[in-house]
A and B are shown apart, each in its own frame.
Chain A
Amino acid sequence: MTAIDNGVNVQALLDARDVLKGTPEAAQFTWRASSTWQNGVHSTTRIQNFYGLGAEQNHKSETVFEADHPEVFAAQDNGITPIEYLLVGLASCLTAGVASVAQNRGIQLRSVEATVEGNHDIRGILGADSDVRNGYNDIRVAFRIDADASQEEIEALVAQSQKRSAVFDALTNPTDVSVSVS
């Protein structure tokens, strides 16, 4: 195989997989975010540390996310809406998956573009119609990928990326969510 480089250290991932098979405790991660209400529907969420490999871990720096509603909702638009953050997660997760799978399969990528669209009937959140769900009705992801590979191989990359995607799973399968007040 000629040396291809998508910038993904697949060897490290494969090594981690082998190690974690025997030490499932170390594979338990907890991701955290903490948010503060600002005003109106505007809030600020910060992400800095997480838990994994049996210890507290830190990102190199803190990331700050502003969430708000747009002016058409009579809000200040200090940031994107919470449900748009799901699109950010899905697009970046599937893209990361495409790069990793391509690296593992020896496929050189030149460009990967994705457009994500989620259809949302807001009558649900407004309580205007009880048959309408609150969340997205459906989400469409369109990839445009330029790579040294056949169309079939590219389709297989995208399919495998969905199969191993944390966010795809989180969106397509139910998750137990508990909310408490202290």
Chain B
Amino acid sequence: MLTERSIDHVVLERGEVANSWRRERWDSLRLLTPNWQTGLPGLRYDGPDPDGYLTAIELAGFLDRYAAFSGAPVRTGTTVTSVRRTGDGYRVATDRGELDCRAVVIASGACNRPSLPPFAAAVPPEIVQVTTFDYRRPDDLPDGGVLVVGASATGVQLAAELRRSGRPVTLSVGEHVRLPRTYRGRDVLWWMDASGVWDQRHDEIDDLERARRLPSPQLVGTPERATLDLGTLAAMDVELVGRWAAVRDGRALFSGGLRNVVALADLKLDRLLGTFDDWARSSGQESATPPQRPAPTAVPPSPRLRLDLCGGEIRSIVWATGYRPDYSWLDVPVVDPKGRLRHTAGVVDGPGLYALGLPVLRRRRSSYIHGIEDDARAVVAHLAGHLAAAA
């Protein structure tokens, strides 16, 4: 898009193209978005399985193809160490020298670091702790019980895979988003796309801050298109406990509010499916499969509130408690006290400074790979206007 507008540019990447997909993902990961949704401006998935889900390595291959196709001037192996304001633009320092530019697009990702609760430091040292950045496969963990913390996409996927490896698994569940893999014969993300939920704009969302913090949905991409929710996990003998609230005297203490977070997720799912049904009716999309509602999630009658971390029942902990961005290299005062970039629809609080690739940047769709096209178009248009005005 910058080339189309004859705007001179470079792309700086500390690793290689598709670095996060090559270095920061576990072995079994597949996208949770179906292949037909995978696309970047001018290049869409064109393989044999539009309803399937790419593996991380397949996606890295797709991004390699895209880099060649777009001819983007990518300088790999170049880490940005500082960006600071100069008279009419920015000075970018890298481990390979400095660059001056009039505009910067921050596309360093929303998931650079694991986000851990402070009491992780109070876990007894005998217990092996891994985050989703270090975890690759079940064999990396010692035999014995695993406590998986967090029940969003990552947590439910890893809990299932660790349980299948034969390990006893306890899953600590906070607020989460329940979704069936398919609804009325279609991928649930087809409905998100078609019904317009994903088109909702940042300024149409009641609580944007909350929307941006919303955890990823409980979804997994498998050839069987299987649903992976708390009910599935309970049927596999994964023990469900409430949100992990504290460590005291060598014990993990879990919230007694599990029932409520489960009820909230069930209610929200019903409302979402209602939105899909309404849209289907009003747009003449009625399919052969009638509306249905998944059964409410069964909560164990008395979920455990305490777990002794010293007794040997738990040998390892997998923190699937989310991610945060890393802007330690950004020496411009545009990061809020919570470490998030201050921006409106990708236009950052600093002239000539832009952001792309953040959750709900402009629309709900922005959180996903296929959301980049519209976002990039809008941001590049603003950037071009900025350069023209400054010229």
Contact B253 A174 (CB under 8 A): yes
**Is A156 an interface residue, CB under 8 A from the partner?**
yes
**Is A88 an interface residue, CB under 8 A from the partner?**
no
**Is A64 an interface residue, CB under 8 A from the partner?**
no
Q: How far is the CA of A156 from the CA of B274 in the complex (A)?
A: 14
**Is B242 an interface residue, CB under 8 A from the partner?**
yes
- Which of the 9-residue segments B90-98, B219-227, B263-271, B363-371 touches chain A? B263-271
**Is B200 an interface residue, CB under 8 A from the partner?**
no
- Which of the 9-residue segments A31-39, A107-115, A165-173 touches chain B? A165-173
CB distance from A39 to the nearest CB of B (A): 35
Name the one of B242, B246, B267 contacting A152, with C-beta atoms under 8 angstroms: B267
Q: How far is the CA of A98 from the CA of B347 in the complex (A)?
A: 39
Given contact pairs A138-B302, A162-B257, A168-B257, A174 touches B267 in the complex (Cβ within 8 A): no
**Is A163 an interface residue, CB under 8 A from the partner?**
yes
Name the one of B257, B267, B302 contacting A155, with C-beta atoms under 8 angstroms: B267
Q: How far is the CA of A162 from the CA of B263 in the complex (A)?
A: 11
Count how many chain B residues have C-beta atoms less than 8 Å from C-beta atoms of the other chain: 16
Name the one of A156, A159, A174 contacting B245, with C-beta atoms under 8 angstroms: A174
Which residues of A are found within 8 Å of B257, using beta-carbon distances?
Answer: 162, 168-169, 172-173
**Is B39 an interface residue, CB under 8 A from the partner?**
no
Contact A159 B264 (CB under 8 A): yes
Q: How far is the CA of A160 from the CA of B260 in the complex (A)?
A: 9
Given contact pairs A138-B302, A159-B260, A162-B260, A173 touches B255 in the complex (Cβ within 8 A): yes
Given contact pairs A138-B302, A152-B270, A171 touches B256 in the complex (Cβ within 8 A): yes
A132-176, CB under 8 A of B: which get 1 and which 0? 000000100000000000001001100110110000110111100
Cβ-closest 9 pairs across A and B: A172-B256, A172-B257, A173-B245, A162-B260, A174-B246, A174-B253, A159-B264, A172-B255, A159-B263
Which residues of B come within 8 Å of A, CB atoms? 242-243, 245-246, 248, 253, 255-257, 260, 263-264, 267, 270-271, 302
Which residues of A come within 8 Å of B, CB atoms? 138, 152, 155-156, 159-160, 162-163, 168-169, 171-174
